[in-house]
């Protein structure tokens, strides 16, 4: 099944769902229906969230299942949280600790130099 198109291909305006149809009895309902919060996420982000839920939010288990490192998973989780426009308060001391762990992971070669840049930007945005 195709994903919903959220932007009009003609003018760029917002597209909305106005009709729902039953595949069994052909009942049709018309109205203005809003999309779900998760509908705007990329396929990659949705697969990531499926793994997150399957692992019951246990990042260590996600490391084993995906083969990715802690900070890569944590960074992706932060990106998804930001995509969902959720506010997550992180205590300042925790931000300093996270920043240190990110830099240590770069030194050990666990993550590339590119990944921490976005992670550090996400941490800085959490402080605001």
In a domain, 29, yes or no: no
Range of the domain at 110: 92-127
Give the H/E segment covering residue 116: helix 114-127
In a domain, 114, yes or no: yes
**Tokens encoding 57:** 């939010």
Write out the DSSP string of 63-102: HHHH---HHHHHHHHHHHHHHTT------HHHHHHHHHHH
Residues in the chain: 128
Query: Are 116 and 71 spatial neighbours (Cβ–Cβ below 8 Å)?
Result: yes
Distance of alpha carbon 97 from its chain centroid, rounded? 23
- In this prediction, residue 114 has a pLDDT band, given cuts at 50, 70 and 90, of confident
Mean pLDDT (whole number) for 76-96: 82
pLDDT at 92: 65
Span 23-69, pLDDT tens digits: 999 999 999 988 788 888 888 999 999 999 999 999 999 999 999 98
Looking at the structure of the chain, the number of domains it has is 1
pLDDT at 88: 78
Q: Taking every pair of C-alpha atoms in the chain, what is the biggest distance, in angstroms?
A: 61
In a domain, 50, yes or no: no
In a domain, 84, yes or no: no
What is the model's pTM?
A: 0.58
In a domain, 10, yes or no: no
In a domain, 109, yes or no: yes
In a domain, 122, yes or no: yes
pLDDT at 91: 66
Query: Are 95 and 126 spatial neighbours (Cβ–Cβ below 8 Å)?
Result: yes
pLDDT at 102: 82
In a domain, 104, yes or no: yes
């Amino acid at each position: 099944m195709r994903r919903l198109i959220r932007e009009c291909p003609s003018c760029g305006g917002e597209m909305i769902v106005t009709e729902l149809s039953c595949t069994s009895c052909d009942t049709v309902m018309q109205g203005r229906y809003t999309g779900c919060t998760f509908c705007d996420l990329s396929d990659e982000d949705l697969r990531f969230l499926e793994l997150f839920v399957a692992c019951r939010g246990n990042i260590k288990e996600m490391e084993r299942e995906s083969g990715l490192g802690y900070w890569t998973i944590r960074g992706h989780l932060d990106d998804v949280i930001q995509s969902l426009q959720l506010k997550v308060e992180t205590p300042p001391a925790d931000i300093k600790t996270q920043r240190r762990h990110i830099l240590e992971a770069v030194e050990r070669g666990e993550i590339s130099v590119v990944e921490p840049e976005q992670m550090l930007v996400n941490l800085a945005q959490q402080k605001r």
